[in-house]
Amino acid sequence: MSARLDVRIIARLPAFTLDVTWTAGDGVAVLFGPSGAGKTLTLACLAGLLRPDAGRIVVGDRVLFDAAAGIDVPPQARRVGYVFQGYALFPHLSVADNVAFGLRDAPRAQRTDKTRDVLRRLGLAELADRRPQELSGGQQQRVALARALAIDPTLLLLDEPLSALDAPLRRALRDELRTILRDWGTAAVLVTHDFTEAYRIGDRIVVYDAGRVVQSAPRAELLWRPASESVARIMGIRNVLHGTVVKATADRIQIRWRGQLLEAVNSPTRSYLPPPESPIAFFIRPEYVRLIRKDRGAADPSHHMNLMDGVIVGEEDFGTTWSLRVRLSEAGEPAQGDHDLEVEVPHLVYEILEIDRDRHWQFSIHRGSIHVLPA
Amino acid sequence: MTPETVSALALSLRVAVLATTLNALVGVPLAYLLARRRFRGRALVDLLVTLPLVLPPTVTGYYLIVLLGRRGWLGAPLYAATGWTIAFTWYAAVIAATVMALPLLVRTARAAIESVDRDLEKAAYTLGRSEWRTALEVTLPLARKGIIAGLVLAFARALGEFGATLMLAGNIPGKTQTVPLAIYTAVSTGEQTAALALVAMLTVLSCVVLVAAGRLGARAA
C-alpha cells in the first residue's frame, strides 16, 4: 500500500486546537474517537472548507494544502467528494439533478450518461425523478454517496454516514457501504464514533482524542494492541485494569493484581520492559475469560493458566450473550466498583452450565488474552 | 375620478414598483452579504439599513435631504455638475420609498438566507461551484419564500410611504403627490368624497397584492 494520503494539520480555533498528523494508504481510513475530538474539522480541512493555520495535505501526488509553500487549493478545484452527516442533498432538485450537480462543466450527453451510470451502479435508477424528501434515510445516504462519487473524486470523505439511520438499517448499510467503497476503489476517509463501524469499514483506523491523534494503525493491530490505556478507553474496551509489574522479559510479563499473580505474553514485536514494582495497565476481553467446568474434576493449574476463584455478583442479558460481573474471592476493594472482572458467556454456555443457579466459579485466562497497555 | 386622483394612483404604483425593483437589486445582495460574510463595517451597514425602521419617517426624510438636497453632500456636486436636483421630483419619491422599504426586505430575506443549511453550500463548493453560482443555484432558491415575503412587505411599505416622501419629494399634485399624500390633502381640504375613493382604492390594491403574494409563496414552497 502506497501512502496515498499524507496529512498534517494545525488549526487553532477559539477554545479548540486541532493538531494531527497521520498517513493512510489506498482503501478506507477511519477517523475514530469521541464527539468533539476534531474528526469533522479534519474533513473540513481535507475538503478545503476550513483553512488550517499550518501543515500540509497531500493526496497521491497532488499537494492540496501547504502552509509553508502558500498552497491552498480551493474546494472547487480539489475534486474531493464529501458525504455530509445529514447528507446535505439539495431539496429543490431531483435525485438525478443532485447527482449531476457536480458535472456541470461536462458536455450534456456525457453528463446524462455519467449520471445514469452512477445511479444504476448504486441501485438508484428507479428514484431518479424523486425529490430527496421523498426518500428513506438509507436511500438518501446512497444518493449523497452517488453525488460525491459522480465527480470521480481523488478522495472521498464521509462524515458519520450511518449515524442518521436506525439500528437494523445501520448494520445492513454498513456492509453495503463497505462493498461500495471497495468496488469503487476510491481512497476514502470516514468519520465515526462507533468502533464496530470503524472496524467493519476501515482498513486503517486513526484514533482521535481532544484534537490529537493517539494511535494510527491497521484495524487488526488496533483491536489487539491499543497503544495506551486512553486508546483502550476510547475504543470502549472493558476490563481495563491496573496492577504492579513483578517481572518483565522479552516474551512474558508477570503482574500482581488483586492478590493474584498473572502471567501475560509480552509483545514479540513491541517488547515492553517496565521495571519491577512499576504500575502497569492491561486489559482482559470479557469473552476470553473461561469458566472451569465442575463436572470434569478439579482444575489443573498446569493446564489452566491464571486460575482464580470468584462469585458472580451481577449479570445482564444482552440477547445473545450474558455479561457476568465477577468478584474475586479475595479481601480488599474490587477493581471495578462492585466487581473485579466482566465475563461474557454465550446464552448456550450460560444454560448448559446452569449459571443462573450456581454463582461460585473458578475462572482462567490464557496468558495470550491478557493485553498489556504501555504507559 | 378627477385627473389628480388618476395621476396620484399611477404615480403611487410606479413608485412602488420601482422601489420594489430597487429593493430586489440592492436588498437581496445586501441580505446575502449580511447573512453569510464577515467583513469590516458589517455592523455599521446593518445599523444604517435598519435605522429607517425605527426612526420617525420625517427624520429619515430629513437625512435624505441632507444627503440628496440641492445643498446636500451628494446633491450639491450633482447640482453643480448638471444643474439638476433630485429633490421635489418623482424620483425623490422612489428614493424615499426605497430607503423606507429596504429594512423590511433585508431583514426578512436575511433571516431566510441564514436558515439555509450551510452544509448545502459547502456541498456545492466541493462539487465545483463558486460562491456566486452557489448563491444563485442553492442559497437564494431555497430562501425564495422569505425573499418573496420580504418583497411583498417592501411593496406594501413603498405604496403607503408618507413622511419621508413628503420631506424629500414634497406634495406637488400631478408631479410628486402619491395616493397617501393625496388622501391627506383631500381630508385636510374637506374633500371627503375624493378621500374615500382613494382610501378604497388603496385598500383594494393592498388586498390584491397580499392575495397574489400568498399564491406566489404557496407555489414557491
For the record, the C-alpha cell of B171 comes out as: 406634495
Average pLDDT estimate for A273-282: 92
Q: From the CB of residue A199, how many other CB atoms can be counted at a distance below 10 Å?
A: 17
- Look at residue A1 in the predicted model and tell me its pLDDT: 38
Give the nearest partner residue to B126 out of A82, A90, A104, using CB atoms: A82
DSSP string, A269-296: SS---PPTT-EEEEEE-GGGEEEPPGGG
B172, pLDDT greater than 50: yes
Assigned C-alpha cell, B55: 426612526
Confidence of residue B219 (pLDDT cuts 50, 70, 90): low
B174: left (phi over 0), alpha (psi -120 to 50) or beta: left
Find the closest chain A residue to B221 by CA distance.
A92
Biggest CA-to-CA distance, chain B:
67
Q: Is the pLDDT of residue B6 over 80?
A: yes
Contact across the interface for A47 and B122, Cβ inside 8 Å: yes
Query: Which residue in the set A44, A86, A91 is minimally distant from B142, CB to CB?
Result: A91
Mean pLDDT of B160-187: 93
Contact (Cβ atoms closer than 8 angstroms) between residue A252 and residue A271: no
B126–A80 CB contact, under 8 Å: yes
- Say what angle helices B192-220 and B3-22 make with each other, to 10 degrees: 30
Flag whether pLDDT at A49 surpasses 70: yes
Residue of chain B with shortest Cα separation from A105 = B128
State which residue of chain A sits closest to B118, comparing Cα positions.
A88
Task: List, in order, residues 6 or more apart from B97 with CB less than 8 Å away.
Answer: B15, B16, B19, B157, B158, B161, B164, B165
Q: Distance (Å, rounded) from C-alpha A41 to C-alpha A44?
A: 5
Question: How many residues are recorded in chain A?
Answer: 375
Helix (H) or strand (E) run with residue A156 in it? strand A155-159
CATH architecture of A286-366: Beta Barrel (2.40)
Instruction: Give every CB contact of residue B159 below 8 A, 6+ residues apart in sequence.
Output: B12, B13, B15, B16, B179, B202, B205, B206, B209
B130, A102: Cβ pair inside 8 Å? no
SS3 content of chain B, % helix, strand, coil (to 5): 80, 0, 20
Is residue B142 within 8 angstroms of chain A, CB to CB?
yes
* A161 Cβ contact partners less than 8 Å away, ≥ 6 residues apart: A83, A85, A141, A144, A145, A177, A190
The burial of A110, by beta-carbon neighbours within 10 Å (0-12 exposed, 13-18 middle, 19 or more buried), is given as: exposed
Query: How far is Cα A87 from Cα A103, in angstroms, rounded to an integer?
Result: 18
Q: Is B141 on the interface with A (CB under 8 A)?
A: yes
Chain B residues whose beta carbon lies within 8 Å of the beta carbon of residue A85: 119
CA distance A30 to chain B (A): 20
Query: Which chain A residues contact residue B129 at CB under 8 A?
Result: 76, 101, 104
The CATH superfamily label for domain B3-220 reads MetI-like (1.10.3720.10)
Residue in A74, A88, A101 closest to B117 by CB: A88
Q: Would you identify the CATH topology of the domain A5-225?
A: Rossmann fold (3.40.50)
In what helix (H) or strand (E) does residue A327 lie, and over which residues does it extend? strand A321-328
Q: What is the pLDDT of residues B55-76, one digit of tens each?
A: 999 999 999 999 999 889 999 9
Residues of A with CB under 8 A from a CB of B: 44, 47-49, 74-78, 80-82, 84-86, 88, 90-92, 101-102, 104-105, 147-148, 151
Assess B129–A contact: CB distance below 8 Å, yes or no: yes
Residue, of A51 and B209, whose pLDDT is higher: A51
- The percent of residues above 70 in pLDDT, for chain B, comes to 98
Please indicate if any CB of chain A lies within 8 Å of the CB of B135.
no
Task: Give the whole-angstrom CA distance, residue A375 versus residue A274.
Answer: 9
Checking if the pLDDT of B221 tops 70, the result is: no
- Give this prediction's pTM: 0.84
End-to-end CA distance of chain A: 30
CB spacing of A76 vs B120 below 8 angstroms: no
Question: Are the beta carbons of A69 and A22 closer than 8 angstroms?
Answer: no
Dump pLDDT digits (tens) for A294-353.
Answer: 877 777 777 788 999 999 999 999 999 999 999 999 888 899 989 999 999 999 999 999
| Cβ-Cβ contacts under 8 Å, A74 against chain B | 125
Residue A266 — pLDDT band, cuts 50, 70, 90? confident
CB of B75 closer than 8 Å to CB of B66: no
Is B220 part of the contact surface with chain A (CB cutoff 8 Å)?
no
Shortest CB distance from B125 goes to which of A49, A86, A104?
Answer: A49
Does A99 have pLDDT greater than 90? yes
Q: Is residue B12 pLDDT above 60, yes or no?
A: yes
Domain residue extents for chain B? 3-220
Question: What pLDDT score was predicted for residue A133?
Answer: 95
Cβ within 8 Å, pair A104-B130 = no
When pLDDT is cut at 50, 70 and 90, the band that residue A370 belongs to is very high
Mapping DSSP to helix (H, G, I), strand (E, B) and coil, where does residue A60 land? coil
When pLDDT is averaged across residues A21-28 and rounded to a whole number, the result is 92
User: Could you state, in order of their start, the residue ranges of all structural domains in chain A?
Assistant: 5-225, 234-284, 286-366
Spatial CB neighbours of A352, under 8 Å, sequence gap ≥ 6:
none
Across the interface, whether the CB atoms of B141 and A86 are under 8 A apart is answered: no
Mutation to test the A interface, candidates B127, B133, B134, most A Cβ within 10 Å: B127
Size of interface A-B (CB pairs under 8 A): 56
B122–A contact, CB cutoff 8 A: yes
| Least CB–CB distance from A92: residue in B119, B128, B141 | B141
Nearest CA in chain A to B117: A88
Using the Cα atoms of residue B104, residue B107, residue B108 and residue B110 in order, give the sign of their dihedral: positive
The pLDDT value recorded for residue B209 is 84
User: Could you tell me which residues come within 8 angstroms of residue B113 by beta carbon, excluding any fewer than 6 positions away?
Assistant: B31, B32, B35, B36, B139, B140, B143, B146
How distant is the Cα of B45 from the closest Cα of chain A, in angstroms? Answer: 26
How far is the alpha carbon of A26 from chain B, nearest alpha carbon, in Å?
21
B2 band by pLDDT with thresholds 50, 70 and 90? confident
B-interface mutation test, from A46, A50, A64, A76, most B Cβ less than 10 A away: A76
Q: Check residue A3 and give its pLDDT.
A: 53
Does the distance separating the beta carbons of B138 and A49 come in below 8 Å?
Answer: no
Instruction: Give the integer Cα–Cα distance in Å for A84 and A47.
Output: 11
CA distances from B194 to B5, B11, B179 (A): 8, 17, 11
User: Across all residues in chain A, what is the average pLDDT?
Assistant: 91
Shortest distance between the Cα of B102 and any Cα of chain A, in A, equals 28
pLDDT value, residue A300: 75
Q: Given this model, what pLDDT does residue B117 score? A: 96
**Nearest chain A CA: its distance from B82 CA (Å):** 47
